Amino acid sequence: MKTNTVLVAGAGGFIAGHLVARLKQNKNLKIRAVDKKPLSEWYQIFPDVENLVLNLESKENCYAAANGCGEIFNLAADMGGMGFIENNKALCMLSVLINTHLLMAARTIGVERYFYASSACVYNGEKQTDPDNPGLKESDAYPALAEDGYGWEKLFSERMCRHFREDFGITTRVARFHNVYGPHGTFEGGREKAPAALCRKVIMAQKTGAKEIEIWGDGKQTRSFMYIDDCIDGILKIMYSDIKEPINLGSSEMVSIDTLADMIEKIAGVKLKHVHDLKAPKGVRGRNSENTLIKKYLKWEPAYPLKDGLAKTYAWIREQLKDRKG
């Protein structure tokens, strides 16, 4: 790079916080971490990093954040689990301003590499109606029928990255994340995803003596879940690869939500009744990452065992809740 300063947008969040921790291992880098949340609400904060509180929906803030940077990792978005994105479509769509303004700033400033965190929510919903989903190939994003709100924003922003690469020469890389989980993430409040939510529910059931937990949907809907360490490995591999098109970044170890709950209960040493809320947000019936393309390009795929990642996540959430009575 012409400059060793790297911008991590959304650094107060779960995935980007782990990314900053990894980038810090390269002592030659100067890291600028930016998030709109107050510093007290960042999931991880590092005193030897330039930490800025800026709302990157603003064009002026994007130019200020990107100034002097050689590379940008854009993981900033207003998002959460299915309960959040199904009920906050407009807020999710507004994240388009972040990617648009950061790309404009990148072009003006002369940023050399730009990473965009997309999502499996870009995939055509009609290809996700079977719990025995064989895996979503990158081509399955078209014809477009993305998750309403959040998925359409991600799909549009992918196209922005493509056209800024083709028209202005910015090296853009796009990864479609599939359900990332692990320690130092959201586990309550409405934005949490299934692994963290179920860990919390099992822990609180043990604390209160409850014999059951609530599960959204019928429990037969399927997903794959990628441990955070695999996610960070993948981000860096994709960022510095020659992969021009959007590519899946996810585990191919697919499980039902009921099975996910069973795995967490086994870690906790308890067996609970599953009470299914059929009216709750539940998303598509089946979603899995098809990893042929990433294995072809990188000779690698996310492979951290789900049971091991859940054990670490469960232990971390249990520690956060250790003083919680009910």
Mean pLDDT of the chain: 96
**pLDDT at site 81:** 74
For residue 257, count other CB atoms closer than 10 A to its CB: 24
Are 128 and 71 within one domain? Answer: yes
- Residue ranges in the chain whose pLDDT is less than 70: 1, 326
Q: Which domain holds residue 114?
A: 5-180+226-249
For residue 158, count other CB atoms closer than 10 A to its CB: 21
Are 92 and 213 within one domain? Answer: no
Query: Letter for the amino acid at 206?
Result: Q
**pLDDT at site 326:** 64
Can 227 be counted among the known catalytic residues? Answer: no
Tens of pLDDT, residues 58-75: 999 999 999 999 999 999
Are 75 and 188 within one domain? Answer: no
Q: Looking at 150, 181, 304, 314, which residue is catalytic? A: 150
| Token pair in block for residue 32 | 């600028």
**pLDDT at site 1:** 65
DSSP-based three-state secondary structure for 232: helix
DSSP-based three-state secondary structure for 177: strand
- CA dist 140 and 146 (Å) reads 10
Are 233 and 211 within one domain? Answer: no
Asked whether 190 and 84 are in contact (CB, 8 A), the reply is: yes
Are 107 and 232 within one domain? Answer: yes
Tell me, yes or no, if the pTM score tops 0.85: yes
Asked whether 255 and 288 are in contact (CB, 8 A), the reply is: no
Domain count, the chain: 2
Residue 123 in domain = yes
Are 105 and 191 within one domain? Answer: no
Residue 295 in domain = no
Are 165 and 312 within one domain? Answer: no
